[in-house]
């Protein structure tokens, strides 16, 4: 799969002059853990594999913390978001409680995935199942400046649906 992807990548580069902008991230993998991977050339997210040694059952409305066996050194100025997979969400009601989860650039612990079963039936996560995806994002830092007045706009303080439905 990895070789195929590289091949496809090069082909795409040659054909369309598309260059993937890759950011190097140093990773520590626990023994036996699987490195997250992009499944297609255009995937925004790298799929994350459950690092468990036996099936993990999630009852309806139960929350579980699923290990990944992955530690990362995310460059300053970036974060990693942990997002659900739509297939698991649609077919089984499986999602992430804190979606999108935030992995800070200074976090050095093992990344874990907080899953919840919103379906009606128990679901078994199997070892190495793909349970979510990592998205690398640039983040700017805000510098908060306290003032007494904000610039006026048409919307003003209207929010929470005040523009109506259609």
Residues of this chain that interact with ligand DUT (CB under 6 A) are: 82, 98, 101-104, 107, 111-114
Which residues are annotated binding-site positions?
85-87, 98, 102-104
Look-up: residue for tokens 């698991």? 88
Q: How far is the CB of 65 from ligand DUT (least distance, A)?
A: 8
Which residues are annotated binding-site positions for substrate?
85-87, 98, 102-104
8 Å CB contact between 34 and 130: no
- DSSP run (H or E) holding 67: strand 63-67
Q: Which is nearer to ligand DUT, 64 or 111 (CB)?
A: 111
Return the closest-CA partner of residue 88 out of 52, 50, 51: 50
Q: How far is the CB of 114 from ligand DUT (least distance, A)?
A: 5
Q: Which is nearer to ligand DUT, 10 or 86 (CB)?
A: 86
Q: How far apart are CA 154 and CA 55, in angstroms?
A: 54
Q: Which is nearer to ligand DUT, 5 or 46 (CB)?
A: 46
Q: Which residue is nearest to ligand DUT (CB)?
A: 101
Q: How far is the CB of 72 from ligand DUT (least distance, A)?
A: 9
Q: How far apart are CA 65 and CA 139, in angstroms?
A: 26
Q: How far is the CB of 46 from ligand DUT (least distance, A)?
A: 15
Structure tokens at 115: 């899953």
8 Å CB contact between 108 and 73: yes
Q: Which is nearer to ligand DUT, 111 or 162 (CB)?
A: 111
Q: How far apart are CA 4 and CA 130, in angstroms?
A: 20
């Amino acid at each position: 799969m990895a070789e195929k992807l590289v091949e496809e990548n090069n082909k795409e580069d040659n054909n369309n002059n598309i260059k993937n902008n890759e950011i190097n991230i140093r990773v520590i993998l626990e023994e036996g853990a699987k490195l997250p991977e992009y499944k297609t050339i255009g995937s925004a997210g790298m799929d994350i594999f459950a690092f468990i040694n036996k099936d993990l059952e999630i009852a309806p409305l139960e929350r579980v913390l699923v290990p990944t066996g992955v530690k990362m050194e995310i460059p300053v100025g970036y974060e990693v978001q942990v997002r659900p997979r739509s297939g698991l969400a649609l077919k089984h009601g499986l999602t992430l409680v804190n979606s999108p989860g935030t992995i800070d650039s200074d976090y050095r612990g093992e990344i874990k995935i907080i899953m919840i079963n919103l379906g009606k039936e128990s679901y078994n996560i199997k070892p190495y199942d793909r349970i979510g995806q990592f998205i690398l994002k640039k983040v700017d830092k805000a510098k908060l400046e306290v003032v007494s007045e904000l610039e006026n706009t048409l919307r003003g303080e209207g929010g929470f649906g005040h523009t109506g439905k259609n």
